[in-house]
Structure formats: structure tokens, C-alpha cells
Homo-oligomer: A and B are copies of this chain.
């Protein structure tokens, strides 16, 4: 079978707020081949990714992504790898490429696994999917009292691990940050796992990060996530040397295998966090899960959006029993909640288990797509280059 069509559905909340909640819009991708549909999601600016799909060629290594996807044979896993390589070669100088490819790759895995009537993780070579312990992932409150309240809520909801991130943390005084971490620890209780995500707030400034280590230590924070931007290898390495029991986590900004590998090889990470919707899809995420395991670095998904994106980011390490944590967004937008007909939620044991249905096991909800769809129309030199697909 050949890839007959690829469609992008740009969904958005009516109002997008200036907060770190990545679930306020979504770029859903549908790949069609051999009478079957696969679905994926790009963790990416939707309009920019759509432009990278249709833009005119600039030269032989800066082509629109569609040139390397439409009409391609898609029969087996090797075809997915071949298409990945082709996209990256033909669109080498188009920076947005990896984010756009990610959703397409996820949809190709979903489609192939459906055709072969098995879950994606089986197609990836894992005999089974191990349940993961979810850490409730949410933003810091605007003040410690709000953080304390949110921590209590997730604890009462049954989570034994939680991560707080973004918001005011790292932007004000060291004292204010100390109070935030303290509030999170108190709200969660002594025995829960507490993780902190600072969303690259210190750029590459090790000195700013260092000042927060005592409070993180006192509150027994398991990992400090993204003190620096992805790729600031030397800063990560320097901070790790001082951080002791606090492991450094990072990698969500990685856009290909080499960037992820560099974070393992040269950043002294304790935990590599990969978003299948950014790194190039399930193919690249699986390669990095293998690489991390071979180098004693914990692998974990990065996900802050829908159940579809969550399933896609869990598949690459589903079969690795020792990588037993997973990020689980607990306060997503109505768009993210409604976008799929089924949702991945913690089971009676409090853990997340991937569906054993074919493909990703998560289907989009057509009503939600229709409800949140943003119509895009791009004209070049007076001619229509792109128009959003209609939803049946």
C-alpha cells in the first residue's frame, strides 16, 4: 500500500492563555493508506508545521515535507524508517521539519499496527507493555498556598508522584522558590515522589540554578527538570557535578536522535525525557529509549496534552520494565480532554497501562475535531496553496 493522503487538523481553544499549558491547541495528523487511517499529533506550532508541509521548494535540501511522504510505500517498519530518512534528507535546511515529521511518524505507526492488528509496542518489538507509575504533572500555583492546594488534590486523587513546573518558579527570589518547593512537599506528604520542572528558566546560567539546590535537597526533590535549554551540555554537566542526589532531567526539546544522544553522552543527565511529538515520532523516541537504557539513564515520556500524544510517547519505552515512571498531565484543557473517544487514565492500581487494542489504541473524536477546528487558508501569488480539510 502507498500513502494516499495526509491531513492536518489544527485545533484550538477559543482563547489561548499566556501560561505554560501546552494543551491549549493541537495539531492532529491523519495518514491514509490501503483503506486504513492512522492518527498522530505534532507537539508543535500548528500553522508553522502546516506551512512546512506545503511550502514551495527552496532547493534540493529544503523541500516541503509532503514531497517525501505522499505516494510512498508503507508496508512495514522499514518503510517508516526509510520515509523518516527521506524527509530529513530532503528537508534538511527546513528547521520546522522534525516537529512536523513527528506527527506523521506517529500516524504511520498507528496505521501499520492497526493493519497488523497489534498494539504499536508489539510492532516495536516489545512482547508486553509494563504499567507505569504516573506522576501528576502540573504547573506551580501563582503562590505557595495554591501550589499546596494542588499538591493535596493530586495526592487525594491517588497519585504517589507529582511534578510541579513553570509558573513563577525561578523568576523571582530564591526565597520565593524555596517556599514553593516547601509547599509542594507539604501538600504531597512525606512519602510521595516530588519532581520539579523549571522549563529552561535559567538559560545556561549555572550560578542561578545552584542557588536553588539547598531547598530542592531539603524537600527531597527527585529530579530537577530543564534548569537549562536543551543542548546546553556544559551547563547541565557542571550542575550535575554539584547536585548530588538530585538528578537532572531534560531532553524534551530534542528534535532528533543526535540531540538526545548528546544529552546522554555529554550532559550527565539522570533522566532523558523525550516527546514523541517533537523528536521525530515513535521511531526516533524508541531509538533514544534503547540508547538511554544502554547508558544507565532513565527514559521517560514528555507529554502535556492529549491521550493520543500520551499513548504515542509511552509506546517507545512500554516494554522496558525498569523505566517505570511516566509523565501524566492532570489539568489539561477541554480540547485535550474531548479530543479522543477514549482516554488513558490511571487504573485501580493507580498505574497507567497502554491499551492492547491495535495501533495506539486511542481514537480521535470527530465531534471534538469539528468543534475546535481552525480553518487555515494559504495563498501564494494569488493561488491557493493550502486549505484545511473538511471533517466528515
A244 within 8 A of B: no
Picked from B16, B92, B374, B381, the residue with its CB within 8 Å of the CB of A253 is B92
Copies of the chain in the assembly: 2
Give chain B nearest CB distance to A138 CB in angstroms.
Answer: 14
Asked if residues A47 and B57 are in contact (CB atoms below 8 Å), the reply is no
A262 within 8 A of B: yes
Asked if residues A47 and B261 are in contact (CB atoms below 8 Å), the reply is no
A203 within 8 A of B: yes
Interface centre among A44, A61, A166, A380 (most CB of B within 10 A): A380
User: Which stretch (A72-80, A230-238, A313-321) binds chain B?
Assistant: A230-238
A52 within 8 A of B: yes
Q: Chain A interface residue count: which class?
A: 35 or more
Interface centre among A20, A45, A200, A256 (most CB of B within 10 A): A45
Q: Which residues of B contact A60 (CB under 8 A)?
A: 18-20, 166
Asked if residues B232 and A378 are in contact (CB atoms below 8 Å), the reply is no
Q: What is the bound-complex CA distance between A234 and B295, given in angstroms?
A: 15
Contact with B along A340-359 (1 / 0, CB 8 A): 00000000000000000000
Give chain B nearest CB distance to A51 CB in angstroms.
Answer: 4
Q: What is the bound-complex CA distance between A47 and B51, given in angstroms?
A: 6
Q: What is the bound-complex CA distance between A48 and B62, given in angstroms?
A: 11
Q: Which residues of B contact A266 (CB under 8 A)?
A: 233, 262, 265-266
Complex interface residues of chain A between 3 and 27 (CB less than 8 A to chain B): 12, 16, 18-22, 24-25
Q: What is the bound-complex CA distance between A98 and B94, given in angstroms?
A: 11
Picked from B56, B258, B278, B376, the residue with its CB within 8 Å of the CB of A379 is B376
A46 within 8 A of B: yes
